[in-house]
A and B are shown apart, each in its own frame.
Chain A
Amino acid sequence: MRDRSNMGLKLHLVLFYTFLYVPILVLMALSFNRAGLPTVWTGFSLEWYGKLFTADPILSAARNTLIVALISTVLATIFGTLLAVGVETRHNSSVLDAVLFAPMIIPDIVLAIALLSFFTLLNMTLGLHSIILSHVVFNIAFVVAVVRTRMRNFDHSILEASADLGASEFTTFRRILLPAIAPGVIAGALLSFTLSVDEFIIAFFTAGAGQSSTTLPMQIYAMIRFGVTPEINAMATIVMFVSFTLVFFAQRTDKEVFSR
């Protein structure tokens, strides 16, 4: 009985991956589209890949996006995890809950304009750093939410036992708590990275002027008026392949670190 339901689940997972990846395959196919039309196929061509490697703005935008996403994810994951632990093990109140959900609920255009107005009030120069500062705001909220779900089922008595046995706070945290919540932290980090990589409106408003602060979503949305060319599809295809390869090799090195 268990085996049959497990088979059913596995089938579901396979179908789910199919659902996720079919549009991606379509997107990749369109990167070979001869004419620059995003939705009509006109023939095979590699020209967009060629253009991509000479299209400086797209590559620098991609690099900027990566920087913003990585740094804001690291910051949000660290602060968010600490916050989640703090809220779950010690304080909790509805007010705190509200504050922690707020970044998700506040419409992003409001957050975008609010942050820009605030930065302007402080006479701060804008750049990639201002985007990072802004992205951490909503990323923290998502990390906190995900890590908290993990902590909900966590048996706090283990922490007490560890303290009773003489372990320092820090040791308890590092060797008992952290490994236990690690899957939640990873999930939160992945979530945060993904949100940041594809975020447009807050990035647009809080970015500095100039190409050095332009992220990939900003670059792509700006192409809407005169044509989103398949160069973007080419870029996305390359991102997919690189990421996929990285994951593949990371798996092979078989780190048991996160396997608890």
Chain B
Amino acid sequence: MTNKFTNSFRLPFAWLTAGAACALSAFAGAAQAEKIVISNWDGYMPPDLLENFTMETGIEAELSVHGTNEEIMGKVVAGGGKGYDVLFVSSPFAEALNNLGLVAAIDHDKVPNASNLYDEAKELAHDPGNNYSMPYAWGTTGLCYRSDLMPEPTSWNDLLKPSDDLKGKVTMLSTDRWLMGAAALALGKSLNDTSDETLAAAKDLLVAAKQDLLAYDDATFYLKLVSGEATMVHAWDGWCNYGIGENADIKYTIPSEGSDLWVDALVIADASENKDAAHAFVNYVLGADVGVWVASNILYKTPNKAAMEALDPSLIETFPNMGMSPADLTKYEQLRDLGNGQKPFARTVTEIMAAQ
């Protein structure tokens, strides 16, 4: 795009052309100088995605970053979502945003690439028919462990009630839904059950488990496996892949009681002033190449059938959990917004985290 003319004769000519081009685009600009703002986790999209998107559609796109669902949720609720067009959030949060009227309905006519999705991804529990969200990545939560230091774990209780040689060498996720999720699964209850009995039983289980933990860890647990500080960690499947990439003895497994199906999705903010442009972006992201990038670089599964089928088979050999079929994935329960159950749930989590 930038031409460097060293010959002074051609320089004025270049400026003239550039000036004319600018003038022309300024006129054409009314229709094309649309701009959208996206909020996503850093490193969750291909680095050149925005550039390529702009080249293909003429729409400018800017990226805002957020570190956790909770933060962007707080910001959108407090600020009404003003300034944002597209948001990447996990499904329970997308659900809550929709219930609060903060996201716009998705016009499927403007998102033809949605046909790239697996059938199962079109009927997800939190948004059957993808009326207000489009899934971007999905996976499970399980146990990530060093196979050279321990036999394969088979139950969530292997984490919650570790054997003596594992005491002090396990970590758990502390994000509230997954913390409680482990206990719920171990007890054979639903992940979205907030009845008093379930919460009390989960609390007892988790307070006891706390004594045997090395630490709670949401972000560096795979490093602890790599360094050997921990032998088994509570992990999301994609993250376990990062560990596997560093040390081939690391393996991922889903305990017999099951897992949760987590889904990260795109939503369009209701406060967006460029909803058409936002739709164009959602459509672009659902294209096969973006899916391939996500799977190959982030090592997450994506519900994009076209992308998953275009993957390099060696990827699946190295990272077996990438090969999990949608049919198997959708066997698991999804985390849903808890509604009124949120309050007793939050209190139980506080009790667990505050326990000595």
Contact = CB atoms under 8 A, between A and B. Distances in A.
Given A37-B226, A226-B41, A210 B64 contact: yes
Interface in B236-291: 242, 246
A208 B62 CA distance: 12
Contacts of A119: 79
Interface stretch (B65-73, B199-207, B320-328): B65-73
A168 to B, nearest CB: 47
Contacts of B332: none
A37 B71 contact: no
Contacts of B42: 57, 219, 222-223, 225-226
Interface string A31-55: 0000101111000000000000000
B6 interface: no
Most A C-beta atoms less than 10 A away, residue of B63, B65, B227: B65
A225 B173 CA distance: 13
Contact of A222 (B66, B83, B84, B298): B66
Nearest to A114: B78
B268 to A, nearest CB: 14
B28 interface: no
A227 interface: yes
Contacts of A211: 62-64
A20 interface: no
B269 to A, nearest CB: 9
Nearest to B78: A116
B220 A39 contact: yes
B138 to A, nearest CB: 16
A194 interface: no
Contacts of A209: 37, 39, 62, 64, 82-84
A193 interface: no
A52 to B, nearest CB: 14
A24 interface: no
A226 B43 contact: yes
9 contacts: A116-B75, A204-B71, A205-B74, A209-B83, A214-B64, A223-B42, A225-B42, A225-B68, A226-B41
Interface of B: 37, 39, 41-44, 62-68, 71, 74-75, 78-80, 82-84, 219-220, 223, 226-227, 242, 246, 298
